[in-house]
Structure 1
Amino acid sequence: MNRLLRLGLSIPFALPLYALLVLLGAISLPWNIAAMLLYPVLPVATGRALGRRAIAFAYRFFWAAASLSGMMRIDADCLDALRDERGLILVANHPTMLDALLLVARLPRSACIMKADLMRNIFLGAGARLARYIRNDSARTMVRLAVDDLRNGGQLVIFPEGTRTVTPPLNSFRPGVTLIAKLAQAPIQTVFIDTDSPYLGKGWPLWRVPPLPIVFRLSLGQRFAPSQDSNALLQQIELYYRQSMEQRAPDAQPACQTSRAPTLS
């Protein structure tokens, strides 16, 4: 009986949240149909720019609707200072399935590294291909495409944990990001994603309603210069994340200033 009562009480809160997810699908599907038609006819550079700006606009619209509905509270203003910076890698921790949407919405020059099977997703694939997002099925190809994109003035959004956080505060980092930085001679800007909600974290089902509103706060951390010793730099960045996340207070205000770490030789 108590379970049925809780379920009944959660329905009024669940409906607006589910409506937001339907809205996200309703935005994504028509654009992916259009992107499928545009992909073979647009020049690569035009398709890349249009695809990335369209995705950023769509996700920013979604977050605005989420905020207006009262279901979510999002503070990602710090990213706006980076939107026009060329040849920049952005790394972030990865607590939820929504993290990439948070970053891309504010960064219309950015590309994501995506799982290969998502490139076949009806809601994501065609738009991602038009935007020249980067598949992760071949490590060598992934690195080459990421380096080329950065050299052409793009931005790269990457989650070095490789998947959503399983062992808080952070999974072990996977190699790749610091090698890309070395080859492209691109700086690495760290971003922290703080949330008070388990929603769409690892193991949290889409249909299960979390405590509302869901709060996301993004803040900028240190910026690391590329290093010839990419393995040592990866260890340095992971240690920086672990130490910083252990010290972060849950109600801390986002720090919008970027500090720069010493360059490794």
Structure 2
Amino acid sequence: MPNLVRGAGMYALLLFLGLISLIWNLLALPLHLLPERQGRAVGRAGIAYGYRLFWSAAQACGLMQIDDHCLDVLRNERGLIIVANHPTMLDALLLVARLPRSACIMKASLLRNIFLGSGARLARYVSNASARIMIRQAVADLRSGGQLVVFPEGTRTETPPLDTFRPSVTLISRMAQAPIQTVFIETDTPYLRKGWPIGRVPPLPIRFRLRLGRRFSPETNGNNLLAELERYYRESLEERAFDAPDACPNQNLRVPTSS
């Protein structure tokens, strides 16, 4: 595919994502009348479906190659924290597309965004406006059977392979008595990494591969768990370079746990 055509296709794909997000957020407005539990389920399922549609379109037109089926084994688990490294702006879309039970911790400003706010509020995504309220809402959601997607670096990686982890994830794990399932996001593209403008077309196709890592049990000493979690990610990311897009564990594989 000529570079000019690929570039035009990438812009069309981003426009498609914007339209999906805008349409869903308009549809979500009247759904706020639903009871909280029903609204949360509908909101999360709607977001997951919309992003799956986007990823399917991206692969169908040959602009992206995505290997994320390993997440399917986690779909129906309740009370689970899913943590991942955060190389690009698209990482949350990858995770929630396969995990319709999940919520994200979001910047408070995004909950007022025309493309994201209404749907995120319907899905009861967790705002980071107040650390105390954020932790309380996250714990309550996990105790009610939800899943929580967390990027412990807090923002996209500034110093590859990993930035320092923030302590909220292990505090939430301890308070909710929720295990932490690690997920690695691997990509061969600089697209939408820190400092990459959204309108700049990268080399195509873009490849993403997700793989499951160890599962960590909640611990009383959150600082020790945080240090172990960060060390595990750092060592794993330094050991592996992105090579082929087909190494995602089989969805029937038993989820590995920490010793």
Structure 2 length as normaliser, TM-score? 0.96
Structure 2 CA distance, aligned partners of 1:64 and 1:102? 11
**Structure 1 position 10, deviation (Å):** 3.9
User: Does 2:30 correspond to 1:33?
Assistant: no
**Structure 1 position 103, deviation (Å):** 0.2
Structure 2 CA distance, aligned partners of 1:135 and 1:249? 34
Amino acid at match of 2:9: P
**Structure 1 position 232, deviation (Å):** 0.9
Match of 1:246 in 2: 238
Greater C-alpha radius of gyration = 1
Determine which of 12, 30, 37 is the counterpart of 2:5.
12
User: Does 2:252 correspond to 1:261?
Assistant: no
Determine which of 171, 179, 201 is the counterpart of 1:187.
179
- Asked if the contact 1:10/1:209 (under 8 Å) is kept, the reply is no
Determine which of 145, 153, 174 is the counterpart of 2:145.
153
**Structure 1 position 25, deviation (Å):** 1.0
**Structure 1 position 35, deviation (Å):** 1.0
- Asked if the contact 2:31/2:39 (under 8 Å) is kept, the reply is yes
- Asked if the contact 2:85/2:185 (under 8 Å) is kept, the reply is yes
Aligned residue for 1:147, secondary structure, equals helix
Describe the superposition over 1:141-178 as per-residue Cα deviations: whole angstroms up to 9, x where unpaired. Answer: 00000000000000000000000010000010011000
Structure 1 CA distance, aligned partners of 2:94 and 2:212? 13
Structure 2 CA distance, aligned partners of 1:200 and 1:152? 34
- Asked if the contact 1:197/1:214 (under 8 Å) is kept, the reply is yes
Structure 1 CA distance, aligned partners of 2:243 and 2:42? 37
Aligned residue for 1:62, secondary structure, equals helix
Amino acid at match of 1:114: M
Match of 1:6 in 2: none
Amino acid at match of 2:17: L
Aligned residue for 2:45, secondary structure, equals helix
Cα-Cα RMSD: 1.0
**Structure 1 position 255, deviation (Å):** 3.6
Match of 1:198 in 2: 190
Higher relative contact order (CA 8 A, sep 6+): 2
Alignment of 1:1-265 (within 5 A): 10-39=3-32, 41-251=33-243, 253-256=247-250, 257=253, 258-262=255-259
Structure 1 length as normaliser, TM-score? 0.93
Amino acid at match of 1:137: A
Amino acid at match of 1:199: Y
- Asked if the contact 1:147/1:183 (under 8 Å) is kept, the reply is yes
Structure 1 CA distance, aligned partners of 2:232 and 2:66? 24
Identity %: 64
Structure 1 CA distance, aligned partners of 2:59 and 2:103? 25
Structure 2 CA distance, aligned partners of 1:11 and 1:169? 32
Structure 1 CA distance, aligned partners of 2:187 and 2:21? 24
Amino acid at match of 2:85: N
**Structure 1 position 80, deviation (Å):** 0.4
Q: Which runs of 5+ in 1 are unaligned?
A: 1-8
Aligned residue for 1:157, secondary structure, equals strand
